[in-house]
Amino acid sequence: MKVLFNFFAMLAISPMASFSLASTIETSISDMPISTGATRTEVRYGPFHVEAQTMYPHTPYITTQKPCIDCYLVAMQTELEYINGTVANFDSGIWLHHLMQFNTNQADPVCAQNSGNLFYGPGNERPIWELNSDAPFGYYVAQDDVWVNGVEIMNDSNDAKDVQVTVTYDWVPASTLVGQTYKNADLIWVNIGATCGDGEVPPQNGVTTFKSDVWESTVTGPILTARAHMHDGGMNATLYINGKMACLSEQSYAPRDGFTDAQGVSHLSGASGCADVGMLQKGDQLYMEAVYDSSKALQHNGKLDNFVAVMFVYVGVGGP
Protein backbone atom coordinates (compact mmCIF):
# COMPACT_ATOMS: atom_id res chain seq x y z
CA MET A 1 0.00 0.00 0.00
CA LYS A 2 1.29 3.47 -0.88
CA VAL A 3 0.04 6.43 1.13
CA LEU A 4 0.58 10.02 0.02
CA PHE A 5 2.41 11.79 2.83
CA ASN A 6 2.41 15.56 3.40
CA PHE A 7 1.80 16.22 -0.29
CA PHE A 8 0.57 19.78 0.13
CA ALA A 9 3.55 20.72 2.28
CA MET A 10 5.80 19.47 -0.50
CA LEU A 11 3.93 21.60 -3.04
CA ALA A 12 4.42 24.62 -0.84
CA ILE A 13 8.20 24.31 -0.84
CA SER A 14 8.86 22.86 -4.30
CA PRO A 15 9.38 26.25 -6.03
CA MET A 16 12.57 26.64 -3.97
CA ALA A 17 14.10 23.58 -5.59
CA SER A 18 15.22 22.70 -9.09
CA PHE A 19 14.04 19.10 -8.66
CA SER A 20 10.52 17.68 -8.77
CA LEU A 21 9.42 16.18 -5.46
CA ALA A 22 7.15 13.29 -4.64
CA SER A 23 6.48 11.61 -1.32
CA THR A 24 5.17 8.23 -0.21
CA ILE A 25 5.26 5.90 2.75
CA GLU A 26 5.00 2.23 1.80
CA THR A 27 4.07 -0.32 4.43
CA SER A 28 4.50 -3.76 2.84
CA ILE A 29 6.15 -4.96 -0.33
CA SER A 30 3.52 -7.71 -0.49
CA ASP A 31 0.97 -4.99 -1.30
CA MET A 32 3.06 -3.86 -4.28
CA PRO A 33 2.67 -5.52 -7.69
CA ILE A 34 5.72 -7.38 -8.96
CA SER A 35 7.34 -5.60 -11.91
CA THR A 36 7.07 -7.11 -15.39
CA GLY A 37 9.64 -9.86 -15.76
CA ALA A 38 10.62 -9.81 -12.09
CA THR A 39 10.72 -12.52 -9.42
CA ARG A 40 10.13 -11.95 -5.70
CA THR A 41 12.47 -13.84 -3.34
CA GLU A 42 12.78 -13.86 0.45
CA VAL A 43 16.22 -14.42 1.95
CA ARG A 44 16.63 -14.98 5.69
CA TYR A 45 19.88 -13.98 7.40
CA GLY A 46 20.74 -15.28 10.84
CA PRO A 47 19.68 -16.49 13.29
CA PHE A 48 20.94 -13.89 15.77
CA HIS A 49 20.88 -14.51 19.50
CA VAL A 50 20.49 -11.21 21.35
CA GLU A 51 20.80 -11.15 25.13
CA ALA A 52 18.39 -9.10 27.25
CA GLN A 53 19.07 -5.36 27.39
CA THR A 54 21.92 -5.55 24.87
CA MET A 55 22.77 -4.63 21.29
CA TYR A 56 23.80 -7.32 18.82
CA PRO A 57 27.01 -5.77 17.45
CA HIS A 58 27.65 -4.60 13.92
CA THR A 59 29.98 -7.45 12.94
CA PRO A 60 30.09 -8.22 9.22
CA TYR A 61 30.05 -11.84 8.18
CA ILE A 62 30.90 -13.23 4.78
CA THR A 63 28.49 -16.13 4.34
CA THR A 64 25.75 -13.92 2.93
CA GLN A 65 23.32 -15.31 0.40
CA LYS A 66 22.42 -13.41 -2.77
CA PRO A 67 18.87 -13.77 -4.09
CA CYS A 68 20.07 -14.10 -7.68
CA ILE A 69 23.07 -13.75 -9.99
CA ASP A 70 23.41 -11.85 -13.26
CA CYS A 71 20.32 -9.89 -12.27
CA TYR A 72 19.05 -6.47 -11.27
CA LEU A 73 17.58 -5.80 -7.83
CA VAL A 74 14.60 -3.54 -8.48
CA ALA A 75 12.85 -3.44 -5.07
CA MET A 76 13.79 -4.43 -1.52
CA GLN A 77 12.23 -4.45 1.94
CA THR A 78 13.61 -5.77 5.23
CA GLU A 79 11.85 -7.24 8.26
CA LEU A 80 13.11 -8.36 11.65
CA GLU A 81 11.40 -11.62 12.56
CA TYR A 82 11.44 -14.33 15.17
CA ILE A 83 12.53 -17.75 14.00
CA ASN A 84 8.89 -18.82 13.57
CA GLY A 85 8.37 -16.00 11.06
CA THR A 86 6.36 -13.62 13.24
CA VAL A 87 7.39 -9.97 13.20
CA ALA A 88 9.79 -8.73 15.89
CA ASN A 89 9.50 -5.05 16.78
CA PHE A 90 9.08 -2.53 19.58
CA ASP A 91 5.85 -4.15 20.78
CA SER A 92 7.89 -7.18 21.91
CA GLY A 93 10.94 -5.21 22.99
CA ILE A 94 13.37 -5.76 20.10
CA TRP A 95 14.09 -3.71 16.99
CA LEU A 96 16.40 -3.45 14.01
CA HIS A 97 19.03 -0.76 14.46
CA HIS A 98 20.12 -1.36 10.87
CA LEU A 99 21.15 -3.82 8.20
CA MET A 100 24.00 -2.77 5.92
CA GLN A 101 24.79 -4.83 2.83
CA PHE A 102 28.14 -4.46 1.08
CA ASN A 103 29.35 -5.86 -2.22
CA THR A 104 33.07 -6.51 -1.70
CA ASN A 105 33.59 -6.93 -5.44
CA GLN A 106 32.74 -3.29 -6.16
CA ALA A 107 34.27 -0.01 -4.99
CA ASP A 108 32.08 2.37 -3.06
CA PRO A 109 31.27 5.65 -4.90
CA VAL A 110 31.16 7.66 -1.64
CA CYS A 111 33.84 6.12 0.56
CA ALA A 112 36.59 4.54 -1.50
CA GLN A 113 38.28 3.29 1.68
CA ASN A 114 35.33 1.02 2.46
CA SER A 115 35.96 -2.69 2.02
CA GLY A 116 33.07 -2.82 -0.41
CA ASN A 117 30.17 -1.04 -2.07
CA LEU A 118 27.36 -0.21 0.36
CA PHE A 119 24.28 -0.87 -1.77
CA TYR A 120 21.48 -1.26 0.80
CA GLY A 121 21.04 0.11 4.31
CA PRO A 122 17.55 -0.19 5.82
CA GLY A 123 16.60 0.53 9.44
CA ASN A 124 13.70 -0.30 11.72
CA GLU A 125 11.22 1.84 9.77
CA ARG A 126 11.45 -0.97 7.19
CA PRO A 127 10.85 1.04 4.01
CA ILE A 128 10.38 -0.30 0.51
CA TRP A 129 13.12 0.80 -1.84
CA GLU A 130 11.81 0.73 -5.41
CA LEU A 131 14.41 1.53 -8.07
CA ASN A 132 12.43 0.97 -11.27
CA SER A 133 9.23 2.94 -10.67
CA ASP A 134 10.02 5.46 -13.42
CA ALA A 135 12.62 3.76 -15.63
CA PRO A 136 14.32 0.34 -15.95
CA PHE A 137 17.08 0.62 -13.37
CA GLY A 138 18.27 -1.82 -10.72
CA TYR A 139 21.33 -2.74 -8.69
CA TYR A 140 23.31 -5.24 -10.77
CA VAL A 141 24.43 -8.48 -9.09
CA ALA A 142 27.26 -10.31 -10.83
CA GLN A 143 28.08 -14.00 -10.40
CA ASP A 144 31.38 -13.29 -8.62
CA ASP A 145 30.02 -10.60 -6.31
CA VAL A 146 30.56 -11.34 -2.61
CA TRP A 147 28.09 -9.80 -0.17
CA VAL A 148 28.82 -8.91 3.45
CA ASN A 149 26.09 -8.08 5.97
CA GLY A 150 26.52 -5.76 8.92
CA VAL A 151 23.66 -6.13 11.41
CA GLU A 152 22.78 -4.29 14.64
CA ILE A 153 19.76 -5.39 16.64
CA MET A 154 18.67 -3.81 19.94
CA ASN A 155 16.92 -5.96 22.56
CA ASP A 156 15.27 -3.68 25.12
CA SER A 157 13.35 -6.53 26.75
CA ASN A 158 14.25 -8.49 29.86
CA ASP A 159 14.54 -11.77 27.95
CA ALA A 160 17.08 -13.09 25.46
CA LYS A 161 15.64 -13.41 21.97
CA ASP A 162 16.48 -15.29 18.77
CA VAL A 163 15.63 -13.42 15.60
CA GLN A 164 16.41 -13.34 11.89
CA VAL A 165 16.61 -10.57 9.32
CA THR A 166 14.39 -11.30 6.32
CA VAL A 167 14.89 -9.34 3.11
CA THR A 168 12.40 -9.50 0.25
CA TYR A 169 14.06 -8.79 -3.08
CA ASP A 170 12.34 -8.20 -6.40
CA TRP A 171 14.82 -8.94 -9.19
CA VAL A 172 14.96 -9.15 -12.96
CA PRO A 173 17.32 -11.57 -14.80
CA ALA A 174 19.74 -9.52 -16.89
CA SER A 175 19.70 -12.06 -19.72
CA THR A 176 15.98 -11.83 -20.50
CA LEU A 177 14.43 -9.45 -23.02
CA VAL A 178 13.10 -7.35 -20.13
CA GLY A 179 16.42 -7.50 -18.31
CA GLN A 180 18.31 -6.31 -21.37
CA THR A 181 16.47 -2.98 -21.12
CA TYR A 182 17.79 -2.39 -17.59
CA LYS A 183 20.72 -0.22 -16.55
CA ASN A 184 22.71 -0.24 -13.34
CA ALA A 185 21.85 1.82 -10.26
CA ASP A 186 24.07 2.55 -7.28
CA LEU A 187 23.62 3.93 -3.79
CA ILE A 188 25.18 7.17 -2.60
CA TRP A 189 24.63 8.85 0.74
CA VAL A 190 25.47 11.78 2.99
CA ASN A 191 25.36 11.63 6.77
CA ILE A 192 25.64 13.87 9.81
CA GLY A 193 28.79 13.41 11.87
CA ALA A 194 32.07 12.31 10.37
CA THR A 195 32.19 11.90 6.58
CA CYS A 196 31.96 8.20 5.71
CA GLY A 197 30.90 7.57 9.28
CA ASP A 198 27.83 5.87 10.70
CA GLY A 199 25.70 9.02 10.82
CA GLU A 200 25.74 9.22 14.62
CA VAL A 201 26.28 12.37 16.68
CA PRO A 202 26.06 13.03 20.42
CA PRO A 203 22.53 14.04 21.50
CA GLN A 204 21.49 17.55 22.42
CA ASN A 205 18.47 18.70 24.41
CA GLY A 206 15.63 20.44 22.63
CA VAL A 207 15.12 20.84 18.90
CA THR A 208 18.41 20.88 17.01
CA THR A 209 19.41 21.01 13.34
CA PHE A 210 22.50 19.06 12.30
CA LYS A 211 24.29 19.63 9.00
CA SER A 212 26.49 17.13 7.21
CA ASP A 213 29.76 17.83 5.47
CA VAL A 214 29.56 18.52 1.75
CA TRP A 215 30.18 15.54 -0.52
CA GLU A 216 31.22 16.08 -4.14
CA SER A 217 29.48 13.63 -6.45
CA THR A 218 31.64 11.06 -8.20
CA VAL A 219 28.77 9.84 -10.42
CA THR A 220 26.39 11.13 -13.07
CA GLY A 221 22.85 9.90 -13.64
CA PRO A 222 19.19 10.35 -12.79
CA ILE A 223 18.27 10.32 -9.12
CA LEU A 224 15.78 7.46 -8.90
CA THR A 225 14.68 7.74 -5.27
CA ALA A 226 15.88 9.26 -2.00
CA ARG A 227 14.91 8.85 1.65
CA ALA A 228 16.42 9.57 5.06
CA HIS A 229 17.11 6.99 7.74
CA MET A 230 16.79 8.41 11.27
CA HIS A 231 16.13 7.10 14.76
CA ASP A 232 13.55 8.17 17.33
CA GLY A 233 13.76 11.93 17.78
CA GLY A 234 14.27 12.51 14.07
CA MET A 235 11.70 14.89 12.63
CA ASN A 236 12.87 15.46 9.07
CA ALA A 237 15.94 15.55 6.85
CA THR A 238 16.56 17.64 3.75
CA LEU A 239 18.93 16.88 0.89
CA TYR A 240 20.55 19.86 -0.84
CA ILE A 241 22.31 19.72 -4.19
CA ASN A 242 24.39 22.74 -5.18
CA GLY A 243 22.68 24.68 -2.40
CA LYS A 244 19.13 23.96 -3.61
CA MET A 245 16.66 21.70 -1.84
CA ALA A 246 16.29 18.38 -3.66
CA CYS A 247 14.34 16.19 -1.22
CA LEU A 248 12.51 16.56 2.08
CA SER A 249 12.17 13.29 3.99
CA GLU A 250 9.76 13.58 6.89
CA GLN A 251 9.70 11.05 9.71
CA SER A 252 6.40 9.61 10.87
CA TYR A 253 5.35 8.47 14.34
CA ALA A 254 1.86 7.49 13.18
CA PRO A 255 0.49 4.32 14.77
CA ARG A 256 1.53 1.21 12.85
CA ASP A 257 1.42 -2.42 13.90
CA GLY A 258 4.45 -3.31 16.01
CA PHE A 259 5.76 0.22 16.53
CA THR A 260 4.08 0.92 19.90
CA ASP A 261 5.95 -0.44 22.93
CA ALA A 262 4.62 -1.91 26.17
CA GLN A 263 4.50 1.57 27.74
CA GLY A 264 2.24 2.84 24.97
CA VAL A 265 4.94 4.96 23.28
CA SER A 266 4.73 5.16 19.47
CA HIS A 267 8.14 4.95 17.84
CA LEU A 268 9.38 6.14 14.47
CA SER A 269 7.36 4.08 12.01
CA GLY A 270 8.04 5.49 8.55
CA ALA A 271 9.86 8.03 6.43
CA SER A 272 8.65 9.84 3.35
CA GLY A 273 10.79 9.69 0.27
CA CYS A 274 11.29 11.43 -3.05
CA ALA A 275 11.14 10.00 -6.56
CA ASP A 276 12.00 11.35 -10.02
CA VAL A 277 14.20 13.98 -8.39
CA GLY A 278 16.29 14.99 -11.40
CA MET A 279 19.81 14.55 -12.77
CA LEU A 280 22.92 14.34 -10.63
CA GLN A 281 26.17 15.41 -12.26
CA LYS A 282 29.71 14.48 -11.34
CA GLY A 283 31.06 17.37 -9.27
CA ASP A 284 27.69 18.38 -7.81
CA GLN A 285 27.84 19.37 -4.15
CA LEU A 286 25.56 17.42 -1.80
CA TYR A 287 24.81 17.88 1.87
CA MET A 288 21.94 17.24 4.26
CA GLU A 289 20.32 18.93 7.24
CA ALA A 290 18.55 16.85 9.88
CA VAL A 291 16.17 18.11 12.56
CA TYR A 292 16.00 16.27 15.90
CA ASP A 293 13.66 16.71 18.87
CA SER A 294 15.11 15.18 22.02
CA SER A 295 11.63 14.80 23.55
CA LYS A 296 11.01 11.94 21.11
CA ALA A 297 14.48 10.38 21.34
CA LEU A 298 15.28 6.97 22.77
CA GLN A 299 17.01 6.65 26.12
CA HIS A 300 19.08 3.86 27.62
CA ASN A 301 20.42 3.81 31.18
CA GLY A 302 18.87 7.21 31.76
CA LYS A 303 20.76 8.89 28.90
CA LEU A 304 19.67 9.99 25.44
CA ASP A 305 20.86 7.73 22.63
CA ASN A 306 23.08 9.22 19.95
CA PHE A 307 21.17 10.83 17.09
CA VAL A 308 21.36 9.15 13.67
CA ALA A 309 20.67 10.66 10.24
CA VAL A 310 21.70 9.37 6.82
CA MET A 311 20.23 10.43 3.47
CA PHE A 312 20.27 7.49 1.05
CA VAL A 313 20.03 8.24 -2.68
CA TYR A 314 19.86 5.74 -5.55
CA VAL A 315 21.28 7.01 -8.85
CA GLY A 316 21.10 5.43 -12.30
CA VAL A 317 24.75 5.15 -13.27
CA GLY A 318 24.66 3.06 -16.47
CA GLY A 319 25.12 -0.59 -17.39
CA PRO A 320 27.06 -3.38 -15.67
Nearest by Cα to 152 from 263, 262, 26, 61: 61
Task: Estimate to the nearest angstrom the gap between the alpha carbon of 113 and the chain centroid.
Answer: 21
User: What pLDDT, on a 0 to 100 scale, did the predictor assign at position 200?
Assistant: 84
Convert the pLDDT of each residue in 144-202 to its tens digit: 999 999 999 999 999 999 999 999 999 999 999 999 999 999 999 999 988 887 778 88
- Average pLDDT over the chain, rounded to an integer: 89
Under the banding of pLDDT at 50, 70 and 90, the label for residue 79 is: very high
Is the pLDDT confidence value at 22 over 50? Answer: no
Q: Give 203's strand partners.
A: none
Convert the pLDDT of each residue in 103-145 to its tens digit: 999 999 999 888 799 999 999 999 999 999 999 999 999 999 9
What's the mean pLDDT in 31-57? 95
Under the banding of pLDDT at 50, 70 and 90, the label for residue 266 is: very high
Is the pLDDT confidence value at 88 over 90? Answer: yes
Count of helix runs (H) and strand runs (E) in the chain: 1, 24
Q: How far apart are the first and last CA of the chain?
A: 31
The answer for 302, left when phi > 0, alpha when psi is -120 to 50, beta otherwise, is left
- Residue bearing the bigger pLDDT, 113 or 3: 113
Under the banding of pLDDT at 50, 70 and 90, the label for residue 26 is: low
User: What pLDDT, on a 0 to 100 scale, did the predictor assign at position 11?
Assistant: 31
Contacts of 85 (CB under 8 A, 6+ apart): none
Is the pLDDT confidence value at 17 over 90? Answer: no
Peptide bond into 47 cis (omega under 30): yes
Is the pLDDT confidence value at 21 over 70? Answer: no
Q: Which amino acid is at 165?
A: V
C-alpha 105/C-alpha 114 separation (Å) is 11
Contacts of 108 (CB under 8 A, 6+ apart): 102, 114, 116, 117, 118
Share above pLDDT 90 across residues of the chain, in percent, rounded to a whole number: 79
Nearest by Cα to 78 from 5, 163, 161, 159: 163
The answer for 258, left when phi > 0, alpha when psi is -120 to 50, beta otherwise, is left
Q: Which amino acid is at 18?
A: S
Under the banding of pLDDT at 50, 70 and 90, the label for residue 57 is: confident
User: What pLDDT, on a 0 to 100 scale, did the predictor assign at position 197?
Assistant: 76
Specify whether the CB–CB gap between 105 and 296 falls below 8 A. no
User: What pLDDT, on a 0 to 100 scale, did the predictor assign at position 60?
Assistant: 65
User: What pLDDT, on a 0 to 100 scale, did the predictor assign at position 319?
Assistant: 54
Nearest by Cα to 56 from 168, 197, 164: 164
